[in-house]
């Protein structure tokens, strides 16, 4: 990667990824794009307004900056997508198709994230393999499976260097949750720091894979810089750092905030989505093909999250 365009740059991943990429590749070489204006802190380098459903606009920006890599993050997340399924299909699939066409025309590398949402109730729940049954029951999952297949098609048919990760829930202190099923794992740290209690919309004993944002960012960069000849799966690597439920997070938080209280008020929509996902996925292919690894486990992540979140409430 030398000159990189990021779509959805003001989202949960994009906000922090743009900063990290500019640290590595130089500020002027990373072009942030989004349909809404970025904050002052994020706006220290090139920025362009972009509606990813407009193919000509996307092409014009990519061509203007002569980018060699597109990191396509613009999409609706799981719970929001289920509430607005038509919009989710139009944005998630339409935007991806445009990014693929631009990548084909300009011979760009393309990264787009997939998700554990591609799995469904017939998928093996424990140690979910890299290659397995994918029959999701949510529009978000349907769009992500379709995206994986579409990226495979553009690689096999047109030689577009497409790469992607099946992300689990991503935990971050920098950006507010954006409508994902795993958002509770971010909200719980904020409420613990501010109020000493949290009411979870996900039920006790519901295990889902998670990863801390610094590890997620490094996974993207490592995959994009990996030797293409060693990639067998390419567009949809399973990656995860931990499989946890709300009680496990609460227990770890109590090591720092002893009187923290956790209650439950289950949201049927998000719970149904969570119940259709695996308890834990197998990341072996990512480790073997391009060296995926993580720095943060639950203990280390909790300590850092509480430290960072508490700074937001100082003063």
Which CATH number do you get for residue 176? 3.90.25.10
Write out the H or E segment, with its range, that includes residue 271: helix 268-275
Residues 165 and 223 sit within 8 Å (Cβ to Cβ) = yes
What band does 314 get if pLDDT is binned at 50, 70 and 90?
low
Whether residue 284 lies inside any domain: the answer is no
What is the bridge-based pairing of β-strands 162-163 and 69-72?
Answer: unpaired
Q: From CA 256, how far away is CA 72, in angstroms rounded?
A: 37
Q: What is the mean pLDDT of residues 288-305?
A: 97
DSSP state of 29: G
Mean per-residue pLDDT over the chain, rounded = 93
Q: What is the mean pLDDT of residues 31-46?
A: 78
pTM: 0.93
Backbone angles phi, psi at 244, to 5 degrees: -140, 160
Whether residue 11 lies inside any domain: the answer is yes
Whether residue 234 lies inside any domain: the answer is yes
Q: What is the mean pLDDT of residues 224-240?
A: 94
The tokens for 314 are 């100082």
- Does one domain contain both 215 and 179? no
Nearest CA to 209 among 300, 280, 296, 273? 280
Q: What confidence score (pLDDT) does residue 181 get?
A: 83
Whether residue 254 has pLDDT greater than 70: yes
- Does one domain contain both 48 and 163? yes
Q: What confidence score (pLDDT) does residue 172 get?
A: 93
- Does one domain contain both 137 and 194? no
- Does one domain contain both 215 and 193? no
- The catalytic position among 140, 184, 198, 201 is 140
Number of structural domains (the chain) is 2
The three-point CA angle 34-212-127 to 5° equals 115
The lowest-confidence range among 97-101, 281-285, 306-310 is 306-310
What is the bridge-based pairing of β-strands 47-49 and 261-264?
Answer: unpaired
Q: What confidence score (pLDDT) does residue 77 get?
A: 82
- Does one domain contain both 223 and 274? no
Condensed to tens digits (0 to 9), the pLDDT of residues 181-220 reads 889 999 999 999 999 999 999 999 999 999 999 999 999 9
Q: What confidence score (pLDDT) does residue 78 get?
A: 79
Whether residue 31 lies inside any domain: the answer is yes
- Does one domain contain both 181 and 273? yes
The lowest-confidence range among 46-60, 75-89, 110-124 is 75-89
- Does one domain contain both 185 and 123? no
Whether residue 315 has pLDDT greater than 60: no
The range of the structural domain enclosing residue 273 comes to 171-210+241-279+295-312
Specify the higher pLDDT residue, 83 or 164. Answer: 164
Whether residue 26 has pLDDT greater than 80: yes
Reading phi first (left if > 0) and then psi (alpha if -120 to 50, else beta), residue 159 is in left
264 is catalytic: no
The tokens for 159 are 């030689």
Residues 298 and 249 sit within 8 Å (Cβ to Cβ) = yes
């Amino acid at each position: 990667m030398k000159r990189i365009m990021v779509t959805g740059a003001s989202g949960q991943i994009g906000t922090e990824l743009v900063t990290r990429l500019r640290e590595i590749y130089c500020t002027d070489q990373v072009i942030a794009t989004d349909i809404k204006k970025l904050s002052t802190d994020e706006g220290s380098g090139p920025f362009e307004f972009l509606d990813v459903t407009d193919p000509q606009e996307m092409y014009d920006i990519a061509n203007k900056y002569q980018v060699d890599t597109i990191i396509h993050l613009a999409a609706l997340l799981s719970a929001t997508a289920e509430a607005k399924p038509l919009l989710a299909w139009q944005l998630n699939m339409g935007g991806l198709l445009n990014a693929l066409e631009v990548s084909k025309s300009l011979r760009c590398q393309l990264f787009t994230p997939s998700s554990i949402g591609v799995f469904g109730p017939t998928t093996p729940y424990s140690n979910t393999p890299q290659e397995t049954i994918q029959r999701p029951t949510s529009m978000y999952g349907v769009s992500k499976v379709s995206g994986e297949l579409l990226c495979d098609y553009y690689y096999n048919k047109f030689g577009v260097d497409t790469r992607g990760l099946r992300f689990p829930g991503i935990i971050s202190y920098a950006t507010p949750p954006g409508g994902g099923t795993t958002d509770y794992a971010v909200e719980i740290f904020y409420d613990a720091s501010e109020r000493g209690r949290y009411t979870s919309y996900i039920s006790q004993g519901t295990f889902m894979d998670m990863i801390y944002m610094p590890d997620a960012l490094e996974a993207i960069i490592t995959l994009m810089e990996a030797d293409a000849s060693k990639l067998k799966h390419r567009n949809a690597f399973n990656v995860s750092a931990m499989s946890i439920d709300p009680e496990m997070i609460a227990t770890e938080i109590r090591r720092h905030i002893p009187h923290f209280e956790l209650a439950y008020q289950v949201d049927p929509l998000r719970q149904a989505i969570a119940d259709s996902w695996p308890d834990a996925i197998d990341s072996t292919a990512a480790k073997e093909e391009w060296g995926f690894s993580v720095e943060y486990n639950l203990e280390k992540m909790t300590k850092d999250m509480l430290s960072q979140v508490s700074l937001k409430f100082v003063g």
